[in-house]
Amino acid sequence: MSDAALRLTDSHCHLDFPDFDGEHDALIARARAAGVHRMVTICTRLRQEPAVRALAEAHDGVFYAAGTHPMSVAEEPMVTVDQLVALAAYPKFVGIGETGLDYHYTAESAAAQQESLRIHIEAARRTGLPLIIHARDADEDMARILTEEHRAGAFGCVMHCFSSTPALARAALDLGFYLSMSGIAAFPRSQDLRDIFAAAPLDRILVETDSPYLAPPPHRGRRNEPAYVAHTAAVGAQVFDLTPAAFAAATEANFERLFPKATR
């Protein structure tokens, strides 16, 4: 899978998770050997932001974003717009989130999740940094809130690890947002999801691992890591009937359009 000519960005991973303790140098070296020259590591609880920032600052090609994950909203203090805006002062802080709605496991906190989501959206507006959205089993509320908020003031956004309905994909694309392809899109039984991506404009597609979760074949069922985004990108190339190099170049251009701060 490694191809030195390819340059890829893992637009969403969790390098601070315990799964990777003590392995960061080797992990990043394996990613670079696979053509993954840049990655965005995501902080899911603001109290962990200093450690995630330190990790990004210690490694070339590693950037970070921070927010309160929707599944953690009930356990964490409600974030403020000012807290999120203040993080934009850090050079390697490139995105707001992940935030969003998850009614699969945490539907009981739906109201708090929606409040948190709107706070993150306002921070994205004020900073000009892209919003990173997690959506699961909440498509109608997600489409409604994103549409309402975008009408109130534009912001950039990526639907991270997109695996929702064609309706939510269309709503997001109509707002100018991006869809990110994870290892789920490479699973053999994910043809319906691949069809959603195939119907989207190529210039709105990103790739990611969401590691340590969702490893694509041939690593499915094991720990995921940024190097494996190359496997998902190979499937993406097939979906769009492109060479791997052409698909990689397209996703790189898309990432740099949405995350310009990560190009500096």
CA distance 259 to 264: 10
User: CATH classification of 8-263, choosing from 3.20.20.140, 3.90.850.10, 3.40.50.970, 3.30.1360.30?
Assistant: 3.20.20.140
Is 3 a residue whose pLDDT tops 70? no
CA distance 164 to 119: 23
- For residue 249 the two structure tokens come to 């170049």
Domain boundaries, the chain: 8-263
SS3 for 80? coil
Is 4 a residue whose pLDDT tops 80? no
Lowest mean pLDDT among 22-26, 202-206, 250-254: 22-26
Per-residue pLDDT tens for 135-184? 999 999 999 999 999 999 999 999 999 999 999 999 999 999 999 999 99
Look up the pTM and report it.
0.96
Mean pLDDT in the chain? Answer: 96
pLDDT band at 127 (very low <50, low <70, confident <90, very high): very high
Question: Between 229-239 and 191-198, two packed helices, what is the crossing angle to 10 degrees?
Answer: 70
Mean pLDDT along residues 219-231: 96
Per-residue pLDDT tens for 23-65? 999 999 999 999 999 999 999 999 999 999 999 999 999 999 9
